[in-house]
Structure 1
Amino acid sequence: MTHRTYQTRLKNLSAESDLALSSYAAIFSKAERTLFAQTFAQGIRPTQTHKSGFQLRFGITARQYNAILYGLRGKVESIKELRKDHIQAAKARIKSSEKAVKALERRLNADRKTGAATKNKTAFKLHHKKRRLATQKHRLEKLLVAEKASTVSLCFGSRKLFHAQYHLEANGYKNHADWKQDWQTYRDRQFSVLGSKDESAGCQGCQLKRINDQWLLHLRLPNSVIEQTGLYKQVVLPIELPHGEDAIKCTLKRGGAITYRFVRDEKGWRVFLSIEVQAAKKKSIEAQGAIGVDINAHHLAVVEMDRHGNPINKHRINAHTHGKTTHQRMAVIGDAVKQLVEIAHRTRKPIVLEALDFKRKKQDLKANEDRRYNRMISAFAYSKIIEVIKARCLDHGIEVKDVNPAYTSQIGKHKFAERYGLTPHPGAALVIARRSKNYREQPNREDQTASWLPERKATEHVWSYWRKVARKPVAYATLLSKRKLSRQSALSNGTESRTVSHTSGVSARA
């Protein structure tokens, strides 16, 4: 089982329906902000006392309070998990800045001794680098204090819009009142209705029904909204399901939970329906081989492997995402993954991926001076590609495996590229596929440093050899080229000698 979310837009809403949704969002937002201020912001866990008190204060039901609590708890837990990454990134930046400060200090001492004309420029850089280092240490200290106290800071309405009040003209506001109106509207723009499989139609507060060939949402309003607006306790909203209609029907039929989230944007109201989707029946056959996928910044290198570990087909699927908007990237990724899934569905083989983590690489972007590399890593939607691949394979019954990515590029380049006529990326894809079958990755016998591994190296892992190759690729390539030339010359000399001896034998008999 996995969660899947589908979205649609509410069209042709009446004035009463729009008022009901806006009032619901305002009550929901105010209760959420108040609950955060009284509990999570102070490091306090909400209790049953908070629940009963909030029900009376804001005129909401128990299920509506639970929706507020679960949504807020998810935001808080997300912030806490991200804070761990922020702390690691801050420590890495401080370490890099300290190295830069020491290097600038050495350069400044050398310039002062030699009287170089660049000493003032170096002193200027050192001064600002020290200021930057002090700021980084202060930020790290704040993160560590918050981590120890288990408190979080959460801005309802986005920090960007909050800081816009200090630069009204630059952000297109005539006065502070105009900004405050936008600020309040943005804060009161969404609410959620929590679903449960124990409730009818998967949700007590909002039920989806099919009446006269039309989908209708029956939304239960909070008691406070009913009192303020004078509306009936339920508002009926016509809705279309252009995506995921079959999956939603199956969920309603089996009595699964459906959670709704209503969001207002510049075009109106949107609805997000979250359901649990059952995996399709497994169709891939592991004994037939595997499909290795090497995900790169501009394309997917795909290699189909037979059951003996040999490549029988290769594909290049373009997935260029640099310079594109979010929607354009998703369209490109969707098209690429569709081609990949079609290959796996046709061959009935599982897909094998690398278990890579780009968090560390993206944290070190500023330390790397290669702008092309930084731009490539920033635009590399690796996690999104993995997410879409796994979701599509779940729908089609295709198994997806994750393998260790260690030295796949080196092994593919130096062991399989020449043997099978593969370029580096397809070679890495072949290694990824072979690794899912636990095939040996010993180097070619003619490429080893000795005729056979010495007894003292018998207990070493084979990756120790490829680690040496990865650390000194230029020296290794030079060594291989020399060995290749020596083998070719030896073969040619052996052929010539055999020809000469054969000719001499014939002449002697003659």
Structure 2
Amino acid sequence: MAAPFVVSGPGGVAIRTRLKQLTPDDETVLRLVGAHLGTLASQDLKARCRDGLAHSGGTWAARKRELTPLSSSRWAGSITKASHDQWALARRCQLAHIQNLEAGIRTIEDRLSQPVGRKGTKKAPGGYRSRREWHAKSRRLRVLQDRLAAARADREAGIVHVVRGGKRLARTRHHLEAAQLTASAWRRGWEAERWFLAADGESGKRCGNETIRVSPDGEASIKLPAPLTYLANAPHGRYVLACRVAFAHRGAEWADRVAANRAVAYRIHLDIGRDRWYLTASWQIPLTPALPIEAALAHGVIGVDMNADHLAAWRLDDHGNPTGSPRRFFYDLTGTAPHRDAQVRHALSRLLYWARACGVQTIAVEDLDFAAEKTREKHGRNRQFRQLISGMPTGKLRARLTSMAGAAGIAVIAVDPAYTSKWGAQHWQKPLTTKNRKTTRHDAAAVAIGRRAQGLPIRRRTAPPPQHRSDAVGHRTVQAGPGVLGREGTRPRIPGPRTRSAGAGCGANAGNQNAQHRSGRSAEHETWQQDSLPLSL
């Protein structure tokens, strides 16, 4: 079981604003520049994929020299870098696909080797239910093996499969009726996604970017490619947009960077559904050193359990005792991607506001990763469960929470997710349920997550055993109060033998209360058994 750790803050910032009041000439210029640079980007990506593993600094420089006469030196640098990043991303996705195929093949081979009808355990699945299912899975095994062989051959040869504009949008062309799109509408979206209007920043240059420049007063201008310089309305082949740019979020931070001529990268894109133009500004920020976990937990912690439709949170004091009432922050993950992202941000904003109102500086979450759990080979017919864990936005929640908590000055602690829901329901759900409050399994899991972040055991203190088995009644209470000193320490030594086999206070694990809930944790939580008497007496 992994130890809890403080999550490092974000390494970059991205903000977005709408380009309002664009004139028809502005939109025409943006479309022409985006289409021209998009064509160059497609050609460069094709050349990068053709190089494969033979890519080097020399081939990169040669590609840039070929693009410079058709655009500019800085546009060529942005295009070649974007191609290299896209090829590297496809390479990483290819490796993840191979690992997923290998995991599925191992699972099927293990289940095929077992007798038909054998029941599985909690840790490993059993055999298949019928001969028909066994036969179908044996055929699927051959299909996965062929796919794995092809993927491994592509990886060894340096071949990747990349689509500028997205594979999903490309496949939508063959299912226009299901997507409720016309051919012309799909063509407009396809062309807009393949445009290229992005430029990397450069420190020391005017306003931090010479290609797409935004001044502190909001004036935006673009360096036109060489074939389109006749469209310029400003000196040095630049086109100045009629609108004024203003960033509502982190606007002061962006203005400080621009005024100091520090690097800022920009991207302009068109939202076809809304018919609106947007400008995204991004820059890197220095990584702040993570707080020691002891300092982060000085004022308590809020345990958060992530679910498919809500966040269950409960505040714990510095002794691990839940205080107040649990809170739930709901979100709806249906609809478009921007809507889902807005729902996640709204739920996290309410969580952070509540944490600041409580005076808590730390949030504990599970380090979830369902990469290996959502395959059809592992859960078989349980399609509903696979859809449930596939719909949980663990990656998006992690990234959003890290970024937003860093801006709010709140630390995030990630804990091992093993058995938090099970042990939380076992030890905390019933004791925290009252006549006026019904504690759910998710609320109890939030308590377990918070206690694990604090390094405390999840299990509660149990009632004392009968007098004839251990100390007199009164040694252990159900739950110690926050003012009791030494409640997690070693029990005091009582004179006289406790049993006929060991003296009082001599147990090797008598004071070990900091380990997690597992077998062999502490002697007082195990089944008591008296040692046999030595035969020499």
| TM-score category, normalised to shorter length | 0.7 to 0.9
* Equivalent-residue separation in structure 1 for 2:189 and 2:441 (angstroms): 52
1:39/1:381 CA distance change after superposition, 3 Å:
closer
**Which residue of structure 2 lines up, in the alignment, with residue 22 of structure 1?**
31
- Which SS does the other structure have where 1:39 is aligned? helix
1:149/1:23 CA distance change after superposition, 3 Å:
same
The alignment status of 1:379 with 2:387, answered yes or no, reads no
1:361/1:274 CA distance change after superposition, 3 Å:
same
* Equivalent-residue separation in structure 2 for 1:137 and 1:363 (angstroms): 16
1:269 to 268, 277, 280: 277
The alignment status of 1:192 with 2:204, answered yes or no, reads no
1:241 to 243, 246, 255: 246
* Equivalent-residue separation in structure 2 for 1:256 and 1:310 (angstroms): 47
**Which residue of structure 2 lines up, in the alignment, with residue 153 of structure 1?**
161
Kindly report which structure 2 residues correspond to 1:315-334, keeping only aligned pairs within 5 A, or say none.
315-334=326-345
**Which residue of structure 2 lines up, in the alignment, with residue 207 of structure 1?**
213
Could you tell me whether the CA contact under 8 Å between 1:321 and 1:381 is conserved in 2?
Answer: no
**Which residue of structure 2 lines up, in the alignment, with residue 217 of structure 1?**
220
* Equivalent-residue separation in structure 2 for 1:314 and 1:77 (angstroms): 47
- Which SS does the other structure have where 2:26 is aligned? helix
Per-residue CA deviations over 1:62-93 (Å, capped at 9, x if unaligned) read: 32222112222222222222222211221233
- Which SS does the other structure have where 1:352 is aligned? strand
By how many angstroms is 1:379 displaced?
A: 2.1
Kindly report which structure 2 residues correspond to 1:127-138, keeping only aligned pairs within 5 A, or say none.
129-138=137-146
1:371/1:106 CA distance change after superposition, 3 Å:
closer
Per-residue CA deviations over 1:174-222 (Å, capped at 9, x if unaligned) read: 99xx7996597246423211112232211121211244xxx22111112
2:265 to 249, 259, 265: 259
1:400 to 407, 412, 430: 412
- Which SS does the other structure have where 2:364 is aligned? strand
* Equivalent-residue separation in structure 2 for 1:399 and 1:192 (angstroms): 33
By how many angstroms is 1:97 displaced?
A: 4.3
**Which residue of structure 2 lines up, in the alignment, with residue 428 of structure 1?**
445
* Equivalent-residue separation in structure 2 for 1:170 and 1:436 (angstroms): 47
Could you tell me whether the CA contact under 8 Å between 1:51 and 1:65 is conserved in 2?
Answer: no
Kindly report which structure 2 residues correspond to 1:51-450, keeping only aligned pairs within 5 A, or say none.
51=61, 54-57=64-67, 58-98=69-109, 129-162=137-170, 185-186=191-192, 188-211=194-217, 215-226=218-229, 233-237=237-241, 238-241=243-246, 243-244=248-249, 245-266=251-272, 267-276=275-284, 286-349=297-360, 350-364=362-376, 367-421=379-433, 423-441=440-458, 444=461
* Equivalent-residue separation in structure 1 for 2:176 and 2:344 (angstroms): 39
* Equivalent-residue separation in structure 1 for 2:412 and 2:174 (angstroms): 50
Per-residue CA deviations over 1:338-374 (Å, capped at 9, x if unaligned) read: 2211121122221111212122222348734334423
2:45 to 23, 36, 58: 36
* Equivalent-residue separation in structure 2 for 1:310 and 1:324 (angstroms): 39
Could you tell me whether the CA contact under 8 Å between 2:202 and 2:262 is conserved in 1?
Answer: yes
By how many angstroms is 1:287 displaced?
A: 1.7
Identity of aligned residues (%): 22
- Which SS does the other structure have where 1:406 is aligned? coil
Could you tell me whether the CA contact under 8 Å between 2:329 and 2:350 is conserved in 1?
Answer: no
TM score, norm. by length of structure 2 = 0.71
Letter in 2 for 1:234: R
* Equivalent-residue separation in structure 2 for 1:265 and 1:250 (angstroms): 29
* Equivalent-residue separation in structure 2 for 1:169 and 1:313 (angstroms): 52
Letter in 1 for 2:446: A
- Which SS does the other structure have where 2:373 is aligned? helix
- Which SS does the other structure have where 2:270 is aligned? strand
* Equivalent-residue separation in structure 1 for 2:317 and 2:51 (angstroms): 59
Which has the higher mean CA deviation after the structures are superposed, 165-174 or 335-344?
Answer: 165-174
- Which SS does the other structure have where 1:294 is aligned? strand
Could you tell me whether the CA contact under 8 Å between 1:298 and 1:320 is conserved in 2?
Answer: yes
Could you tell me whether the CA contact under 8 Å between 2:112 and 2:134 is conserved in 1?
Answer: yes
Letter in 2 for 1:341: L
- Which SS does the other structure have where 1:235 is aligned? strand
* Equivalent-residue separation in structure 2 for 1:153 and 1:207 (angstroms): 34
User: How many residue pairs are counted as aligned between the two chains?
Assistant: 450
* Equivalent-residue separation in structure 2 for 1:32 and 1:341 (angstroms): 41
By how many angstroms is 1:430 displaced?
A: 2.2
* Equivalent-residue separation in structure 2 for 1:188 and 1:320 (angstroms): 32
Per-residue CA deviations over 1:271-295 (Å, capped at 9, x if unaligned) read: 2111345799999964222111122
Could you tell me whether the CA contact under 8 Å between 1:168 and 1:179 is conserved in 2?
Answer: no
Could you tell me whether the CA contact under 8 Å between 1:41 and 1:152 is conserved in 2?
Answer: no
By how many angstroms is 1:137 displaced?
A: 1.7
* Equivalent-residue separation in structure 2 for 1:423 and 1:174 (angstroms): 47
Could you tell me whether the CA contact under 8 Å between 1:203 and 1:257 is conserved in 2?
Answer: yes
Per-residue CA deviations over 1:145-194 (Å, capped at 9, x if unaligned) read: 2222333221223335545676789889999xx79965972464232111
* Equivalent-residue separation in structure 2 for 1:381 and 1:331 (angstroms): 12
1:225/1:132 CA distance change after superposition, 3 Å:
farther
By how many angstroms is 1:460 displaced?
A: 10
1:160/1:327 CA distance change after superposition, 3 Å:
closer
Larger Cα Rg: Structure 1 or Structure 2? 1
Which has the higher mean CA deviation after the structures are superposed, 339-348 or 153-162?
Answer: 153-162
- Which SS does the other structure have where 2:198 is aligned? strand
* Equivalent-residue separation in structure 2 for 1:197 and 1:217 (angstroms): 18
- Which SS does the other structure have where 2:403 is aligned? helix
